[in-house]
């Protein structure tokens, strides 16, 4: 094995955050309450646009690899009850704001937002537009399960102004699909893509996963080539996080069938090679985009951001989360709704903000978050410049092992991750994480 792979493997099994926030979710605490959230909401600047995230915690079937907060059900009643409660939460949160806030981004995630019936999705979008000033150029995005896409849903999304859809493809290899309980052939994906594009949903993102049971370099390459046949604008490539101690349904995946660290790395490298050869731009840790896509443009202009939806062009001053387990971000800190759907519904219908925990940001948190986000987005950070911006002394983490092995270079005060070691950007970012030693067991492996 080449030296580069040997070096990456030295660090690949370290459990680290994905740094979609800082501090990360395991460091949230119940000390941040609903009262704090209500105070933070009232303090938002009405002149600055915000973003909305809505979490739909239901799927028709449970995919065994899933790490999301969701529940499998074939009954429509819980989904209908959830939709009623979501309407109530939208009304409640809007009533706590200082004005009808402008909204620049709306993101539907899950679970499976495609579980919402067309009439329900329309009702919810209408309520959002009634309670918020969703601007004409707002980006409305939704996560799609290709297995359940229908013409009626496509028309509903068109009418609602959905501009971007993320399709959970994961893999096209039948044996792997069977091992993770997600059977969907290329025809299903093709049908969903055709429906969405015909409905004017122009921005398409494919999610792919490596490190799944029975995956090999060859079938990962084959899946990428099949995905490229659809010419998606963006691709997100995630390493499967096997955490059965947190997600018991993952016990249905036999650990003996999972690739080891060396095989995972080979799969990640093979996928990157296929995408880069096809002309996609590597963005941060795990995203790829066509060169003319807005994400690639933001990356080139160093205007990229990272939040709980991954890499984004969204530069809103706050993100408000709706639905069980949804996380919001405001200038003062993070908040997370209670994850239990029944408890979330009870509190919302009682007129209570359903916050379970959160994190009030200190000046040091904001400073370190800035460094970490910059590294995660651009593989480099001028620590002295960020220090001056925040008026705080620059941290001096021990980067000696990274420097000695060529993973990182330092030019004056700029820390730069070598392109060859992109898979280790989480490791480098973690050097600036003041909370990490207390929460390593709760994270996925680095590669």
Q: Are residues 83 and 195 in the same domain?
A: yes
Q: What is the pLDDT of residues 197-249, one digit of tens each?
A: 999 999 999 999 999 999 999 999 999 999 999 999 999 999 999 989 889 99
CA distance 96 to 93: 5
- Using the 3D structure, point to which of 296, 326, 360 is the last residue of a domain: 360
- Using the 3D structure, point to which of 325, 360, 395 is the last residue of a domain: 360
Q: Are residues 353 and 387 in the same domain?
A: no
What domain count does the chain have? 2
Q: Are residues 347 and 296 in the same domain?
A: yes
Q: What is the pLDDT of residues 340-368, one digit of tens each?
A: 999 999 999 999 999 999 999 999 999 99
Pairing outcome for strands 310-312 and 71-72: unpaired
CATH code, 393:
1.10.10.920
Q: Are residues 416 and 279 in the same domain?
A: no
In a domain? residue 392: yes
Q: Are residues 305 and 432 in the same domain?
A: no
CATH code, 105:
3.80.30.20
Contact 159, 182 (CB under 8 A): no
Q: What is the pLDDT of residues 106-131, one digit of tens each?
A: 999 999 999 999 999 999 999 999 99
In a domain? residue 441: yes
Q: Are residues 348 and 400 in the same domain?
A: no
Q: Are residues 129 and 214 in the same domain?
A: yes
Q: Are residues 45 and 158 in the same domain?
A: yes
Q: What is the pLDDT of residues 285-326, one digit of tens each?
A: 999 999 999 999 999 999 999 999 899 999 999 999 999 999
Q: Are residues 265 and 383 in the same domain?
A: no
Q: Are residues 204 and 283 in the same domain?
A: yes
**438 pLDDT tier (thresholds 50, 70, 90):** low
Mean pLDDT of 43-68: 94
In a domain? residue 12: no
In a domain? residue 6: no
Q: Are residues 295 and 417 in the same domain?
A: no
Residue environment code for 4-25, b if the CB has 16+ CB neighbours within 10 A, otherwise e:
bbebbbebbebbbbbbbbbbbb
CA distance 269 to 282: 12
Please work out, in degrees rounded to the nearest 5, the angle formed at the alpha carbon of residue 345 by the alpha carbons of 115 and 132.
75
CA distance 132 to 93: 10
Query: Domain range for residue 346?
Result: 17-360
Over the chain, what is the mean pLDDT? Answer: 95
In a domain? residue 109: yes
Residue environment code for 346-378, b if the CB has 16+ CB neighbours within 10 A, otherwise e:
ebbeeeebbbbbbbebeeebebbbbbbbbbbbb
Contact 250, 65 (CB under 8 A): yes
- Using the 3D structure, point to which of 337, 360, 383 is the last residue of a domain: 360
In a domain? residue 5: no
Q: Are residues 194 and 160 in the same domain?
A: yes
Contact 58, 82 (CB under 8 A): yes
Whether residue 2 has pLDDT greater than 80: no
CA distance 157 to 140: 9
């Amino acid at each position: 094995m080449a030296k580069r792979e040997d070096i990456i493997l030295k660090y690949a099994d370290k459990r680290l955050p994905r740094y979609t926030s800082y501090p990360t979710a395991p460091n949230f605490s119940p000390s941040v309450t609903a009262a704090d959230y209500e105070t933070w909401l009232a303090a938002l600047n009405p002149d600055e646009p915000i973003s909305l995230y809505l979490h739909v915690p239901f799927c028709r079937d449970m995919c065994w690899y899933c790490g999301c907060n969701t529940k499998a059900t074939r009954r429509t009643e819980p989904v209908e009850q959830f939709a009623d409660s979501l309407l109530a939460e939208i009304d409640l949160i809007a009533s706590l704001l200082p004005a009808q806030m402008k909204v620049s981004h709306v993101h539907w995630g899950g679970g499976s937002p495609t579980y919402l019936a067309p009439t329900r999705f329309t009702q919810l979008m209408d309520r959002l537009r009634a309670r918020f000033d969703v601007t004409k150029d707002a980006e409305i995005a939704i996560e799609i399960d290709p297995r359940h896409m229908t013409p009626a849903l496509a028309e509903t999304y068109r009418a609602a102004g959905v501009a971007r859809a993320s399709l959970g493809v994961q893999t096209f290899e039948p044996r792997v699909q069977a091992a993770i309980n997600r059977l969907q052939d290329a025809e299903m994906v093709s049908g969903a893509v055709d429906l969405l594009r015909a409905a004017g949903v122009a921005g398409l993102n494919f999610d792919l996963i490596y490190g799944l049971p029975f995956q090999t370099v060859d079938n990962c390459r084959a899946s990428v080539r099949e995905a490229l046949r659809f010419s998606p604008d963006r691709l997100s490539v995630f390493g499967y996080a096997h955490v059965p101690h947190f997600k018991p349904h993952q016990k249905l995946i036999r650990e003996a069938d999972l690739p080891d660290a060396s095989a995972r790395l080979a799969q990640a490298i093979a996928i990157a090679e296929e995408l880069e050869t096809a002309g996609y731009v590597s963005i941060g840790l795990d995203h790829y985009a066509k060169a003319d896509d807005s994400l690639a443009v933001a990356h080139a202009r160093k205007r990229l951001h990272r939040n709980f939806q991954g890499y984004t062009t969204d530069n809103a001053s706050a993100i408000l989360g709706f639905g069980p387990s949804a996380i919001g971000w405001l200038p003062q800190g993070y908040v997370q709704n209670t994850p239990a759907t029944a408890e979330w519904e009870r509190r919302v219908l009682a007129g209570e903000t359903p916050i379970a925990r959160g994190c009030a940001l200190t000046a040091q948190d904001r400073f370190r978050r800035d460094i970490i986000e910059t590294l995660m987005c651009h593989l480099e950070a001028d620590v002295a410049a960020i220090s001056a911006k925040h008026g705080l002394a620059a941290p001096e983490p021990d980067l000696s092992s990274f420097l000695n092995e060529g993973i990182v270079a330092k030019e004056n005060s700029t820390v730069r991750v070598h392109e060859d070691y992109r898979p280790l950007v989480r490791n480098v970012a973690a050097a600036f994480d003041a909370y990490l030693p207390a929460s390593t067991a709760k994270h996925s492996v680095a590669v």
